Amino acid sequence: MSIFFSLVLHTNSLRCHVDFSVESISVSPSSTATWHVDFLVKDPRSRCPIDYDGDYVYVKLGSLNAVVLNTSHKGRSRGVTSFSVDFATSNQSDFVSASPPRVLELDIKLRAKKKQYVDLDKIGHFDITCQNLMIGHEDIKCDSSFKKLETCC
C-alpha cells in the first residue's frame, strides 16, 4: 500500500513539460496587417492538456499586446500537434517595413491544467516565449513553462 501512495505522490510531482517551436511566421504587408504563426508542439501529455481555444490564448509581440483573431490545432501523430494563431497589433508598419528585418520576441499564454491523481487538478497556463524571431525564418525553439493559477484570499 505504501508503494502505491509513493507512486501516486511521485506522479503528482512530475512537471508539465511541452516543447514549442515556431515552424513559420508571416505578416500581411498593410497597416491593418495580421500575423500568422505556425507552431509545432511536441509531447503534449494527457496529464497536462492544453486548451487551444482562441478565447483562452493571449499574445504579446514585443511590448505590444495583440488581439487574437483565430487559432487552430491538429494532431499530427502521437505526442505531436500543429498549432496556429492569427493575431493583430497596433503599429504593424514598424515591424513590416523595418530594414534590415527586425528581430522579434513573441509571448503567448495557453490555458492548461495538470491532472492530479490525488488532490484537485492544478489549473493554470503555459507561458511560451519565442526570442530572436524574424519574418521568414523557421524552426525557432521557444521556452515554455507551466504556471499554476494563483488563488486569492
- Note whether residue 18 is domain-resident: yes
d(CA 43, CA 41): 7
Distance from CA of residue 79 to its chain's centroid? 16
From the list 94, 109, 35, the residue with the least C-alpha distance to 70 is 35
- Note whether residue 77 is domain-resident: yes
Reported confidence tier of residue 11, pLDDT bands at 50, 70, 90: very low
* Number of Cβ atoms within 10 Å of the Cβ of 94: 12
- Note whether residue 153 is domain-resident: no
Number of domains making up the chain:
1
Lowest mean pLDDT among 16-20, 55-59, 93-97: 93-97
pLDDT at residue 103, rounded to an integer: 81
* Number of Cβ atoms within 10 Å of the Cβ of 72: 12
Q: Which residues pair with 106 in a beta bridge?
A: 61, 130
- Note whether residue 122 is domain-resident: yes
* Number of Cβ atoms within 10 Å of the Cβ of 124: 19
- Note whether residue 24 is domain-resident: yes
Burial class (CB in 10 A: 0-12, 13-18, 19+), 13: exposed
- Asked whether 41 and 52 are in contact (CB, 8 A), the reply is no
- Asked whether 126 and 112 are in contact (CB, 8 A), the reply is yes
At residue 10, the 3 state secondary structure works out as helix
% of the chain with per-residue pLDDT over 70:
72
Residue type, 96: V
From the list 105, 93, 91, 81, the residue with the least C-alpha distance to 25 is 105
- Note whether residue 86 is domain-resident: yes
State pTM to two decimals: 0.78
d(CA 129, CA 143): 5
Q: What pLDDT digit, counting tens, does each position of 65-124 carry?
A: 899 999 999 999 988 999 999 999 876 555 555 555 678 899 999 988 777 665 667 888
Length of the chain: 153
- Note whether residue 132 is domain-resident: yes
What is the domain extent for residue 128?
Answer: 2-148
More confident residue, 103 or 149: 103
- Note whether residue 78 is domain-resident: yes
